[in-house]
Amino acid sequence: MTGGRPCAVCMYYTRRERCHWPTLKEEFFKGMCQRVLVLVAFDVDALCACKILQYLFQCDHILYTIVPVSGREDFERAFVAHSEGIRHVILVNCGATDDIIEMLQPEDNITFFVCDSHRPVDVHNIYNQVQVKLLMRPDELHDVPQFDEVFSDDDEEPEEADDVCEEPEEADDDSGNDSDTSGPVRKKKRVDEQTLEKEREKRLWREARNKRIFEYTEFSGFGTSAALLMFEIAWKMSKDTNDLLWLAILGVTSQYANRQVERDKYIEDIGQLQSHVSRLNNRSEDDSENIISVNCLKITFESELQLTMYRHWSLFESLCHSDYTFCKFKMWSMKGKKRLHEFLADMGLPLVQCRQRFAAMDMSLKETVKDMISKQTEKYSIDEQKLFLPSFHVQFGFKNKFCAMDAVLACEAMLESVSANLTPSDNFLKAGDVLNRSKTECMEKALSQAKMQLQAIVHQVQTFIDMKHQVICAGPFLYAFVTEGTPDASFFSKPTCLCHLAQFTLDAYSTMSHNKRAQNLPLVLGAPQDADLGTMLVVGVPPASDTSRKNFFGKAFEQAAITSNTQMMQDNFDSNVIMLKMDDKSKFFDALISLLQ
Amino acid sequence: MFGEKALELVKELQRSKTGTISAINEDVMRQVLEEMRALFEQNQRDVTLALAGEQLLFSAIQIRHSALERNKRCLLAYLAGRLNYVRETRWQFGSVLPAEVKQNLSEPELQWFNKYSKCLANYMSSIGGHGGLDLTQDVKPPKTLYIEVRCLTDHGEFETQDGSIVLLKKNSQHFMLRSECEHLVRQGFLEHIVH
């Protein structure tokens, strides 16, 4: 029986290659008027994927309910509240890393379609072919333990109870697959050699399994963006439009902006998107008959300057607040600021022009800024790869021109806006409005919010560097804390913003530090979250020199919490973000240090 | 000048056309009626004199009479305008009047509304087969059968026509049959999302 399983899985993979939409559609229509529940995580990629999905559903008149979920607890709660009478649930950027069936205990007739970029995917989800269907590229699910390695027929629950449970995720087997569960096997009192041998074998097998599962789940990472996958589904259904393409671009860009994927992967995805862009925007300009109206959405591929929001800010401000230039010129010191001025002088850009809004700059300067900068790259040893990024920008009407990176930042800022009277789900809807083309004023507002957020981040990085010994080297990793009562601390109570701060801090620290090793050290950053509850948010980011973007902190935090016996919540879908009690801080960090040594 | 007060009423009606209706202006109405009574009494007096042979009074009588007529027309227009508004409200908000409209209506107007409402309901249940036909829906031809809505408040569970249950929780988004959620949108529980 076990021999047949992997084969079935392979079959499933090949079937999956043609994507699940036909089955998805078929199943929906079978039960006509069956409502579909869509649970969406709080990130830009998920939001874009969800918007694409919404469009597809509307085309086919499939009824749906969309509920944003901010974390694992919220996820469970939303499922319980909305699952009545639901047969199909689509999970967007949530759920893949947990054993869904175990977590939600759904009824047998509910099917889950999981479109999640979080990796690694839980083995139970992979091998449950009945209730869980993964909408993922099959070639991305590499290094998955073989079925025989993690499941076995005589690995029954009662025996497992005897076993010392070390790994929470291997706690029990999924019931969907094992229909042949027999009654409890009583241990025979007569110990003969055969049973001894059998038990020894079983123990070895279990050890091997634990090791294998640990290896598999050690690093967390990200696969292809959910929005891109959704767009591909739309494309295969011949329902792709420029609007959907733009959403897919935003999804992919957000992954790169949050350093979830390596550059090569990003370039690969962008390459794919570019062919779609040229397919959907192929009107030549001098073709007077086919000229499209200015109000239509036009997407253009371009090598984009990696200066944050410079189109909507002044060039000077943007240079001061961009990650790469900030670290390159060491802008935290007076010397660094002088160097920036020198750089601008070398380029021949008058300061007056740089300080005013980019939109109001001299036309001739505006157009040549990119060339001017690239001419100076050698003198200032600027890495062109880091300052220029192949990306897209979109234009509709005369006024609205946004590049993908800025739109992502704006949307993210809206998702994590810190106004006191707004609930997270309000933010989710507002962020959705930002992506809505007819509401450009939302975009403007979001951009100014993103600027505020970025200023707070840069300010905090400056503080970290000005005050010596704020970033502390603990041997295997660096750590720092945002002190309570900092004016901008509220910004850092949100995971994505805190991640940005951590990455920014790490970049700045590793360029500043005399310690050669700083390049190769990861950073753990904590910030106060809720003063009343006394909780803090802790995030771990991989070293600056590491380009693989793999993160081992999820597992490390989990282990540290167990060994130090502290309460922590891994509520966020990103396992490298945890919530901790303020009082447990030192205990937890001692454990983490000893664990990673 | 004659008829000025009456004109004021009509102007007021015109002003309230864009917003909600204002309270019935009984004060001015009474003034208009008094003016009318005065005019009528004077005419009565003059007519008897004129019949007795006073030829010169005829033009004065004529003027007073047209002022009377005009006042009457203005008053009726005022009342009819208000009733029109009430009728439109019935089509827009259903049989339950919003509180801010209700407090501005006079007692006879309320009675009229209830009667009208009953009439309409009776008629609607008598046509279109056994279930009746809700004429207040789809007053304009709808573009789509389904619309996307967003919940503005926690409304609790909502049973759709096919018997399935949708939980209308704040900030969740749903794709629903237009006819089912149209009244919820009007009542302000849901927001229709237009792209």
Chain B residues in contact with A436 (beta carbon < 8 A): 195
Contact A61 B167 (CB under 8 A): no
pLDDT score at A245:
94
Q: Is the pLDDT of residue A163 over 70?
A: no
- Contact list in B for residue A63 (CB cut-off 8 A) is 146, 174-177
Helix (H, G, I), strand (E, B) or coil at A301: strand
Query: Class assignment of domain B4-94?
Result: mainly alpha
* pLDDT at position A432 over 50: yes
Give the strands of the sheet with A478-481, arranged side by side.
A472-473, A478-481, A523-530, A535-541, A577-581, A568-569
The answer to whether A65 contacts B175, with C-beta atoms less than 8 Å apart, is yes
Q: Looking at residues A334-353, what average pLDDT do you find?
A: 89
Say how many C-beta atoms besides its own lie within 10 A of residue A30's C-beta. Answer: 9
Q: Which of B157, B169, B175 sits opposite A64 (nearest CB)?
A: B175
**Is A92 in the B-facing interface, judged by CB distances under 8 Å?**
no
Q: Which of A5-14, A268-277, A286-295, A474-483 has the lowest mean pLDDT?
A: A5-14
pLDDT-based confidence at A578, cuts 50/70/90? very high
Question: By the CB < 8 Å criterion, does A85 face chain B?
Answer: yes
| Record: contact A438-B162, CB cut-off 8 A | no
Angle CA A317–A323–A326, to nearest 5: 60
For residue B71, the model assigns a pLDDT of: 93
Given an 8 Å threshold on Cβ–Cβ distance, is B174 in contact with A423?
Answer: no
When pLDDT is cut at 50, 70 and 90, the band that residue A15 belongs to is: very low
pTM: 0.80
Give the A window 421-460 contacts with B, CB below 8 Å: 423, 425-426, 428-429, 436, 438
Does the N-terminal peptide bond of residue A120 adopt cis geometry, omega within 30 degrees of 0?
A: yes
pLDDT higher than threshold 90 for residue B100: no
How far is the first Cα of chain B from the last one, in angstroms, to the nearest whole number? Answer: 55
Amino acid at residue number B67: A
Instruction: Pull the structure tokens for residue A496.
Output: 């994505």
Alpha-carbon distances of A59 from A32, A56, A143, B175, rounded to whole Å = 15, 5, 38, 12
Predicted pLDDT at A183: 45
Q: Could B169 and A428 be called an inter-chain contact, meaning their C-beta atoms sit closer than 8 Å? A: no
Q: Vertex A501, ends A500 and A505: CA angle to 5°?
A: 120
pLDDT average, residue stretch A246-267? 93
Let me know if A400 is exposed, middle or buried by CB neighbors in 10 A (0-12, 13-18, 19+): middle
* Contact call for residues A41 and A50 (beta carbons, < 8 A): no
Each residue of B157-175: pLDDT tens digit? 888 887 788 888 888 999 9
Mean pLDDT of A57-62: 84
Binning pLDDT at 50, 70 and 90, where does residue A10 land? Answer: very low
- In whole angstroms, what is the distance from residue A446 CA to residue A411 CA? 7
B167 touches chain A (CB under 8 A): yes
Q: What is the pLDDT of residue A69?
A: 92
CA-nearest residue of chain A to B152? A426
In angstroms, the CA A225 to CA A49 distance is: 9
Which of B165, B170, B176 shows the shortest C-beta gap to A63? B176
Residue A287 confidence (pLDDT) above 50: yes
Inspect the interface and report whether the beta carbons of A62 and B164 lie closer than 8 Å.
no
Find the distance separating the first CA and the last CA of chain A, reported in whole Å: 44
pLDDT > 70 fraction of chain A, expressed in percent and rounded: 86
Of A219-228, A435-444, A470-479, A513-522, give the range with the top mean pLDDT: A219-228
Task: Please answer whether residues A93 and A226 qualify as being in contact, where contact means their C-beta atoms are separated by less than 8 angstroms.
Answer: yes
Average pLDDT over residues A357-383: 87
Contact present, A324 and A387 (Cβ < 8 Å): yes
Lowest mean pLDDT of A211-215, A319-323, A591-595, B91-95, name the range: B91-95
pLDDT tens column, A97-115: 889 999 999 988 888 888 8
Report how far residue A391's alpha carbon sits from residue A377's, in angstroms, rounded to the nearest whole number: 20
Contacts of B176 in chain A (CB under 8 A): 63
Share of chain B above pLDDT 90, in %: 35
Chain B residue closest in CA terms to A435: B195
Q: Tell me if chain A has a CB within 8 Å of the CB of B29.
A: no
Does A167 have pLDDT greater than 60?
no
DSSP-derived secondary structure for A526-581 = EEEEETTTTEEEEEEE--TT--S--B-HHHHHHHHHHHHT--EE--SSSTTEEEEE
Complex confidence, ipTM:
0.76
Number of helices and strands in chain A (H, E): 24, 16
When scoring B145, B167, B177, B194 by the number of chain A Cβ atoms within 10 A, the one with the most, hence best to mutate, is: B167
Mutate to test the interface with B, among A53, A90, A246, A425 (most CBs of B within 10 A): A425
- Phi, psi of B189, rounded to the nearest 5 degrees: -80, -30
Cβ-defined contact of A58 to B165 (cutoff 8 Å): no
What rounded mean pLDDT belongs to chain B? 87
Using CA atoms, how far apart are residues A26 and A237, in angstroms rounded to an integer? 13
Chain B contacts of A425, Cβ < 8 Å?
170-172
Distances A588 to A312, A543, A581, B54 between C-alpha atoms, Å: 43, 21, 10, 114
Asked if residue B122 has pLDDT above 70, the reply is yes
Least confident of A183-192, A245-254, A424-433: A183-192
Tell the residue number behind the tokens 């000077």, with chain if given: A316
Instruction: Compute φ and ψ for A337, nearest 5 degrees.
Output: -65, -35
- Tell me the pLDDT of chain A averaged across its residues: 82
pLDDT tier for residue A67 given thresholds of 50, 70 and 90: very high
Domain regions of chain B by residue span: 4-94, 146-192
User: Is residue A86 within 8 Å of residue A36, measured between CB atoms?
Assistant: yes
**pLDDT at residue A292, as a whole number:** 67
Which pLDDT value is given to residue A184? Answer: 47
- Position A289 scores a pLDDT of 57
For residue A159, the SS3 value is helix
- Alpha-carbon distance of B79 to B41, in angstroms, equals 25
pLDDT tops 80 at residue A168:
no
Please tell me the distance from the alpha carbon of residue A28 to that of residue A18, in angstroms, as a whole number: 18
Grouping H, G, I as helix, E, B as strand and the rest as coil, residue B171 is: coil
- Higher-pLDDT residue of A403 and A33 is A403
For residue B158, what are its two tokens?
A: 């909502």
- Distance from C-alpha of A53 to C-alpha of A83, rounded to nearest angstrom: 19
